[in-house]
Chain A
Amino acid sequence: MTALLEARSVTKAFGGLLALANIDLTVATGEIVGLIGPNGAGKTTFFNLATGMSPPTSGDLLFEGHDLLSASRLGGLRRRRRRPFEITRAGVGRTFQNIRLFPNMTSLENVMVGVDAHHRQSVVDAILRTPRHRREEGEGQQRAEELLEFVGIHRLANELAGNLSYGDQRRVEIARALATRPKLLLLDEPAAGMNPTEKRALVELISTIRNQGVTILIIEHDMKVVMGMSNRVVVLDYGRKIAEGPPAEVQHDRAVVEAYLGATPSADGDGDGVHDEAATDDGATDG
């Protein structure tokens, strides 16, 4: 397996606050990687860097071996920052922690905005209704409907996204991100606010997505969800990477336990019980 996304000592500082400090992170093609850590650890900041929404203070991000965040200008003489839409077209899709759908558009239109990422029709095409326009609109709507069906809410296609339930909005967001044909999908707490049944369906959905060849980097607080499906887990705390490895190993990592439960000299006590339970769950899922 080759590295799809590779972060090389990425640092992001907000004034004096180091949100991310020298993070090295590799996501291989076809993996599901969990990105966990306490609140404020810098997980979402990493997503924002990887989608071009804010520039890193230092460090590089490579996507398929090429620089993700800048493109050559003037025939390779100078580099310029790539805008978020270009990074999306390059193959990085994302969802947001606090759902960011377009509330006054229907779910179908929301997904079609994602499909449009690879469309080329211009103002002239749209006004003259050229063949290109008609082909893109037809194919776009069909693909958007297929995606809504894939995430299981085709029947809500014509509802305004703002009127949908929380879980359904998350599904639309995933469909919209998939519509941009990502090679790497960044999911920011997709299970937040879902009930156990919905979570189960979500886990199933995410592994289906992976099986279709999309690599996934997922931020999640629900340990059951993230430990159950990740191939590898990366743990951040105060902007530093404190652990990395298979879920079973990470769960017993002393630094991780401390980060979540506070520094305990013996690294024993309440925490162990919780983590043991998580570990058995994990074992069950694997088996």
Chain B
Amino acid sequence: MPDEGVRTAMDRRQHRVARRRAARARRQQLSATLARQRAVVARPIRDMTEPAIESYRAVVAAIRARRRWTYPVLAIAAIAVAAVLPLLPTWFTLPLWMEQGLNGAALARFALFALFALGLNVVVGFAGLLDLGYVAFWAIGAYTAAMLTGAAKYSIAVSNGTASLADKPTWAGWMWFIIPVALLVAVIAGVVLGSPTLRLRGDYLAIVTLGFGEIVRIFANNMTSLTNGPRGNQSIPHPALYLPGRDLVWGIFTDNKYYWLFLFFVILWIVAITLLDRSRIGRAWVAIREDEIAAGAMGVPVVRMKLAAFAIGACTAGVGGVIYAEQVNFINPPTFTVIQSILILSMVVIGGMGSIPGAILGAALVALLPEVFRSFSDYRFFVFGFALVVVMAFRPQGLIPSRRRKLELSGHVREDSLGDLITADEDEEADA
């Protein structure tokens, strides 16, 4: 460090770097000391759990350090575990309550509702739009499937007594295109519902969407010439996939393949929604949820982004509705009552609004608990309801609340830049 009056810019910079390094070292030393003191103070309480916490931390740290490959590996492991769930009862002897939760039908129901919860989580959790009519899009997807496969027409003919067995709809390979068509129909329905209503906020939006859900159900009930009304649509064909070498034919609704089909879409949606969440779109949604006026003032196209959230939620339910219709073979309006909307909403809320793992866990609890408690016969809904109340009383933020992802910062941190717009200049002058 030259002491003579004239210093080059380089010297000054070196000086500053050295000073900053020293400051950082001091800080680290201080925080280490503080941590030691804190550990000493906390020891009596934490002694019991210390090893567990330590090992948990070690695991988390190990994952963090190698996340480039641990996250994909963990994801594949999770998918593998989810995929073999329905096979467990055939491999092992399990207690009855587990077996009741792990059969194809119960798991398919769980995966269907997981898909719905993911979709509604975008609307309610991310964008903060309280939608009480989500079931409408499920119904739209299901009825689209019924109409496009010809099941609706066939059911009407059966009601009129003019049907012949030859008219009975059968599955053809091109029927997979029903899924994208239903997706599109649901998006259009979402935009049609959304554009006039999304200017409303909070409670008002909830009331309008509640009404929309009922309108769709009542429409399906009364529009007999199109939907066969309360008699419903029967003989919706099961899906099939004709691959070279091996044909995949989905059977009746307990077939495990439905669960895997739903699981495929759940995974697809998790990936897509995670990517959306970590983009301009996801930030815009959260900004709207947090403060709509400020979001608008910061250049967020509020109405457009709300519509996007609504449409994405709608198309999720539409896709789920198609596969649901194909699985259960028969749909009628009473399936799509407002209570289903409430159930899906409660999955999102119990799991933690805006949290993707939360939505899955919420769906697992709400869809599977009644199955698991089947042995309690009529009391099972009481137990289920009680479990919900307990969760909400002790964890109102949800079981897995969402946490904002910390972004990796680039290195150019000026550690002492706070308030230094003035002091830095003074330093400079003093140095000169």
Contacts and interface: CB of A to CB of B under 8 A. Distances in A.
A121 B421 contact: no
Contacts of B312: 123
A105 B283 contact: yes
A201 B421 contact: yes
Interface residues of B, number: 41
A287 to B, nearest CB: 18
B280 interface: yes
Given A105-B287, A113-B300, A126-B281, A152 B404 contact: no
Interface string A163-205: 0000000000000110110000000000000000110110011
Contacts of B284: 113, 116
Contact of A155 (B282, B283, B410, B418): B418
Contacts of A259: none
A260 interface: no
Nearest to B312: A123
Contact of B283 (A96, A112, A127, A158): A112
Contacts of B297: 51, 53, 84, 88, 94, 96, 100
B415 interface: yes
A254 B16 CA distance: 52
Interface in A66-125: 83-85, 88-89, 94, 96, 100-106, 108-109, 112-114, 116-119, 121-123, 125
Interface stretch (B223-231, B271-279, B316-324): B271-279
B10 to A, nearest CB: 22
Contact of B295 (A94, A113, A201): A113
Give 6 nearest A-B pairs by CB, closest first: A117-B299, A126-B279, A102-B290, A84-B296, A100-B294, A88-B299
Nearest to B417: A152
Contacts of B412: 145, 149
B269 to A, nearest CB: 10
A231 interface: no
| Max count, chain B CB within 10 A of own CB: residue among A94, A122, A152, A208 | A152
B280 A119 contact: yes
A114 B303 CA distance: 17
A153 interface: yes
B410 A145 contact: yes
A85 B303 CA distance: 10
A108 B407 contact: yes
B291 interface: yes
Contacts of A252: none
A101 B294 CA distance: 7
Contact of A114 (B299, B407, B414): B299
Contacts of B404: 104-106, 109, 160
A154 interface: yes
Nearest to A156: B418
A149 B414 contact: yes
Given A117-B300, A127-B276, 16 more contacts: A88-B297, A89-B299, A100-B294, A106-B404, A116-B300, A119-B280, A123-B281, A123-B312, A126-B275, A149-B417, A152-B417, A154-B417, A155-B418, A180-B298, A200-B422, A205-B421
A217 to B, nearest CB: 15
A208 B420 CA distance: 13
A123 B316 CA distance: 14
A105 B284 CA distance: 11
Interface of B: 272, 275-276, 279-284, 286-287, 290-291, 293-303, 308, 312, 404, 406-407, 409-410, 412-415, 417-422
Interface stretch (A5-13, A135-143, A243-251): A135-143
Contact of A157 (B276, B294, B300, B409): B409
A157 B312 CA distance: 30
Contacts of A200: 422
A116 B417 contact: no
Residue among B291, B295, B297, B417 facing the most chain A CB atoms (10 A cut-off): B297
B122 to A, nearest CB: 11
B286 A100 contact: no
B416 to A, nearest CB: 9
A197 B420 CA distance: 11
A68 B188 CA distance: 33
A232 interface: no
A43 interface: no
Given A106-B406, A126-B280, A127-B272, A88 B298 contact: yes
Contacts of A198: 419
B396 to A, nearest CB: 15
Given A94-B297, A149-B413, A180-B298, A158 B421 contact: no
A145 B54 CA distance: 33
Of B299, B409, B419, chain A has the most CB atoms within 10 Å of the CB of B299
A84 B286 CA distance: 18
A145 B413 CA distance: 9
Nearest to B409: A157
Contacts of B275: 126-127, 129
Contacts of B298: 85, 88, 113-114, 117, 176-177, 179-180
26 contacts: A53-B293, A53-B296, A83-B296, A84-B296, A85-B296, A85-B299, A100-B297, A101-B291, A102-B286, A108-B409, A113-B300, A116-B280, A119-B280, A123-B281, A127-B272, A129-B275, A137-B280, A141-B410, A145-B409, A149-B414, A152-B417, A154-B409, A154-B413, A157-B407, A157-B409, A158-B407
A181 to B, nearest CB: 9
A83 B298 CA distance: 11
B43 to A, nearest CB: 28
A116 B420 contact: no
A101 B290 CA distance: 8
